[in-house]
Amino acid sequence: MTTALRRLRNYIDGEFRDAADGRTTEVVNPATGEAYATAPLSGAADVDAAMAAAEAAFPAWRDLIPAERQKVLLKVADRFEERAEELIAAESENCGKPIGLVRSEEIPPMVDQIRFFAGAARMLEGRSAGEYMDGFTSIIRREPVGVCAQVAPWNYPMMMAVWKFAPALAAGNTVVIKPSDTTPASTVLIADIIGSVLDELGHSRGVFNVICGDRETGRLMVEHKVPAMASITGSVRAGMQVAESASKDLKRVHLELGGKAPVVVFEDTDIAKAVEDISVAGYFNAGQDCTAATRVLVHESIHDEFVAALAKAASETKTGAVDDEDVLYGPLNNANQLKQVKGFIERLPAHAKIEAGGEQVGEKGYFFAPTVVSGLKQDDEIVQHEVFGPVITVQPFSDEKQAVQWANDVEYALASSVWTKDHARAMRMSRSLDFGCVWINTHIPLVAEMPHGGFKKSGYGKDLSSYGFDDYTRIKHVMTSLDG
């Protein structure tokens, strides 16, 4: 007997709808490898409808005083708390994530981030008015950019949706957001939450729209004439394609792309504490995090001791079922990602050594063992390219100069960390590391008040913080004559 698949639908102008042409795609639970739902495979007609709804809703939403937009977002945050168990269940099924970790590590920061941007809505700052030419006064207006086309990734589909819609709505923009085709469930649920709040407070539900689909759907969104801005969190390849598509009509683009975070461990580090923190930061969410601590550079004097301790930590790290409270991470998100991670291991050069893990685990689903690889050279594929899996590489360095050189010698520049008791050295390293974030004696904590975003092929624009809020605004100069 076959279990009927749940039907997910687009959310356009306050209504849940199938794709106009009826096309669907199956959604698979990565913990089981089995389909549990279908989602629309949206095409041009669906994109047109969503953009029209957002465009129609924009003037009234833009013209609200900030306090009214704040009320909406604060109520959304409250509703996230009230419906937390529904969100947790949806995200766990979406991604195979451990239920307890979604509850403790994702719901609280998401609620906090929504409330942060609710406050930011009332802090639209500009330079003070002044006279810069005799007889004239200049003022600065900070305004929303318009309709925002947003594409969220599959590694944190729920949280990344929050990072996108919260600043956009707070600034007065309207939104059309597309979740990944492998993880649409939680974003569709978010649409139900936001739509109900907009309705209760008397605002157009066209302010927030969700369309499901694949890369072609995303391309149609970015190339559509209506959006003033395109925002994507995804791969470098996807970001380049979005930038190219958006350039055809000069849309503003916000890109948060890949990472290859260096973790620089000096000889004065407390090895046991560093290994404990780095293993969690490397394996959390199955290493499917652009900031994951997966590229360790350790001083040669403590290299062997560090590798042995890290391999032991890997062997004690558990992956498995969503309801197992001892599990640190769940499966890789999809079959293609499992194939990619396996490929990196299969292509390791002869001089590399697998110290722990290195294989798929479990009889079903896309689980991969916590892995440590040593003996690598700087130009090896696994050092230079993002694995996006539970794989930590380790290289020995001889001195601070070499550590900086190797740390910066990748195409990505999102996040990094330095581990040392020497304050002056930590300050030198934070200056020299060419990454958007440098953590010192820690790795991966994020707060709503501080920006997240990188350089080079990690993209441009910031998420979180007032800087992320500013990205969703435009600046207008107004000049008036004092002659009346």
Those residues with Cβ within 8 angstroms of residue 97's Cβ, 6 or more apart along the chain or in another chain: 91, 285, 322, 329, 330
pTM for the whole structure = 0.96
Asked whether residue 116 carries a pLDDT value surpassing 60, the answer given is: yes
Answer whether 457's CB lies under 8 Å from 258's CB.
Answer: yes
- CA distance readout (Å), 61 to 10, 67, 69, 113, 118: 21, 12, 8, 21, 14
Q: What is the pLDDT of residues 276-299, one digit of tens each?
A: 999 999 999 999 999 999 999 999
3-state SS assignment for residue 228? coil
Q: What is the pLDDT of residues 394-425, one digit of tens each?
A: 999 999 999 999 999 999 999 999 999 999 99
What integer pLDDT is reported at residue 3 of this predicted model? 67
Band of the pLDDT at 1, cuts 50, 70, 90? very low
Q: Give the whole-angstrom CA distance, residue 9 versus residue 344.
A: 36
The closest alpha carbon to 360, from 383, 382, 344, belongs to: 344
Tokens 């009332």 appear where? 122
Q: What is the pLDDT of residues 30-84, one digit of tens each?
A: 999 999 999 999 999 999 999 999 999 999 999 999 999 999 999 999 999 999 9
Instruction: Please give the positions annotated as active site.
Output: 256, 290
The closest alpha carbon to 199, from 358, 25, 72, 320, belongs to: 72
Band of the pLDDT at 163, cuts 50, 70, 90? very high
Band of the pLDDT at 4, cuts 50, 70, 90? confident
CB atoms within 10 A of CB 64: 16
Domains in the chain: ranges and CATH: 6-257+458-477 (3.40.605.10), 262-447 (3.40.309.10)
Mean per-residue pLDDT of the chain: 96
Helix axes 44-63, 215-223, angle to 10 degrees: 50
Q: Give the whole-angstrom CA distance, residue 311 versus residue 229.
A: 45
Asked whether residue 2 carries a pLDDT value surpassing 60, the answer given is: no
